[in-house]
């Protein structure tokens, strides 16, 4: 009983320290609000308002139809230019795409020939350039086929592909980006806060005061875990309800309580990693370098940026050792697919087990690390 009482009072001291730091509070607020909103809305998986120009050397009905098919919100209103203006316009970043329709284009289409349409692309923005080129190709092919057949009807084929999208019927990329951004901020801030809290005690000289008190390394570490974890959990919950669900309108298909419960378990694991890094580092500069070496792989290999199956085969087995990989799978199952505890319980155990391993490892090094002088 005395052990948990000590953990509680040490944790309240840590809470006062965190809440009394205005810069740190501002960082937490920014990370769970503006940062998530910008990351969810800035990265688009579709072409949006791409600037396009047309060099119409045919001046036919078909060429005009192709020009009018490029319309917002995918493309801006096409601008009609001459061939001599292409290089100058693209050098000045006026156009991302320039479609050149050759002379006698409609005539050759009527004759059953295969005329070529040239598309000049500014590939500075690689993603938009690749998607936009595909859009333009499909639009040109569609308009040419409709012109030839004089109808929107398609020919009968033996197989008809029927597409049904589950969990995200409209294919909103923002849904996925918002949740991934929220989980990334959760990992980063939890590790940083817990590790920095331990180093702050050392740099301020207060860690020696704790060592002469009847406290164990477990009590000191757990106090920092629950205090910093509570702050991040509160920020996570508010961000989920206000930013993700209300402002970005991302629906949560599963149970909020299940998601928060899984997040609590993951916070324990992430905080244990922070304590582990804090025991290794001697200074805040060393801790910052360790953070870069830890958080970037955890983010890239969690399955949020790219599916685990798409990653190099030599790396995939290593992802099983990352709590972020299991938590990302758990959160996506709850948020997008509405999974219940009967489905995600293995992820619960994996995250809790990895967290326990990191905590035990950090406690084994704790006293030796904080009493060692460089």
| pLDDT tens by residue, 232-269 | 999 999 999 999 999 988 888 889 999 999 999 999 88
Q: Report the distance separating Cα 288 and Cα 281, nearest Å.
A: 9
Top mean-pLDDT range of 19-23, 196-200, 365-369: 19-23
Task: Answer for the pair 48, 73: CB distance below 8 angstroms, yes or no.
Answer: yes
- Burial degree of 352 (CB within 10 A; 0-12, 13-18, 19+): middle
Distances (CA, A) of 221 to 265, 363, 367: 16, 8, 11
Q: Could you give the angle at which helices 34-42 and 22-31 cross, rounded to 10 degrees?
A: 30
Q: Report the distance separating Cα 216 and Cα 220, nearest Å.
A: 7
18, pLDDT greater than 70? yes
Handedness of CA 317, 348, 248, 135 (dihedral sign): positive
Q: What is the mean pLDDT of the chain?
A: 83
Q: Report the distance separating Cα 353 and Cα 356, nearest Å.
A: 5
3 state SS of 56: strand
Q: Report the distance separating Cα 266 and Cα 281, nearest Å.
A: 23
**Edge-to-edge strand ranges of the sheet holding 52-56:** 79-80, 52-56, 97-101, 118-121
3 state SS of 54: strand
When mean pLDDT is compared across 89-93, 196-200, 254-258, 299-303, the lowest value belongs to 196-200
pLDDT of residue 263: 92
pTM, two decimals, is 0.74
The CATH number of 52-149 is: 3.40.1710.10
Give the number of other Cβ atoms within 10 Å of residue 139's Cβ.
17
pLDDT of residue 194: 85
Query: How confident is the model over 201-223, as a mean pLDDT?
Result: 69
User: Any residues with CB less than 8 A from the CB of 45 and at least 6 apart, and which?
Assistant: 131, 173
In the chain, domain spans:
2-43+169-371, 52-149
pLDDT of residue 210: 63
């Amino acid at each position: 009983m005395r052990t948990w009482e000590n953990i509680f009072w040490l944790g309240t001291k840590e809470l006062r320290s965190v809440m009394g730091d205005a810069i740190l509070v501002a960082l937490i607020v920014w990370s769970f609000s503006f940062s998530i909103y910008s990351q969810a809305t800035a990265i688009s998986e579709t072409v949006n308002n791409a600037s396009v120009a047309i060099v119409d050397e045919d001046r036919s009905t078909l060429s005009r139809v192709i020009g009018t098919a490029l319309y917002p919100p995918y493309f801006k209103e096409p601008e009609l230019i001459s061939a001599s203006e292409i290089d100058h316009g693209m050098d000045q970043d006026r156009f991302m795409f320039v479609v050149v329709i050759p002379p006698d284009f409609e005539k050759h289409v009527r004759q059953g020939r295969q005329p070529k349409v040239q598309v000049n692309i500014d590939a500075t923005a690689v993603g938009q350039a690749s998607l936009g080129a595909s859009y333009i190709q499909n639009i040109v092919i569609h308009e040419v086929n409709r012109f030839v057949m004089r109808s929107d009807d398609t020919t009968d084929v033996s197989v008809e592909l029927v597409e049904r999208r589950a969990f995200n019927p409209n294919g909103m990329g923002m849904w996925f980006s918002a949740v991934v951004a929220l989980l990334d901020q959760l990992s980063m801030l939890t590790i940083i806060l817990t590790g920095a809290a331990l180093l702050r005690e050392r740099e301020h000289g207060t860690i020696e005061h704790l060592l002469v008190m009847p406290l164990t390394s477990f009590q000191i570490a757990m106090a920092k875990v629950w205090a910093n974890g509570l702050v991040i959990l509160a920020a996570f919950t508010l961000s989920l309800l206000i930013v993700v669900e209300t402002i970005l309108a991302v629906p949560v298909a599963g149970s909020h309580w299940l998601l928060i419960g899984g997040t609590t378990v993951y916070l324990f694991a992430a905080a244990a990693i922070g304590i582990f890094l804090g025991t290794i580092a001697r200074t805040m500069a060393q801790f910052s370098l360790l953070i870069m070496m830890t958080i970037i792989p955890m983010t890239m290999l969690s399955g949020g940026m790219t599916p685990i199956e798409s990653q190099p085969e030599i790396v995939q087995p290593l992802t099983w050792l990352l709590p972020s990989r299991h938590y990302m799978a758990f959160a996506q199952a709850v948020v997008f697919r509405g999974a219940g505890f009967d489905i995600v319980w293995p992820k619960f155990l994996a995250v809790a087990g990895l967290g326990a391993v990191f905590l035990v490892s950090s406690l084994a090094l704790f006293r030796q690390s904080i009493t060692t002088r460089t």
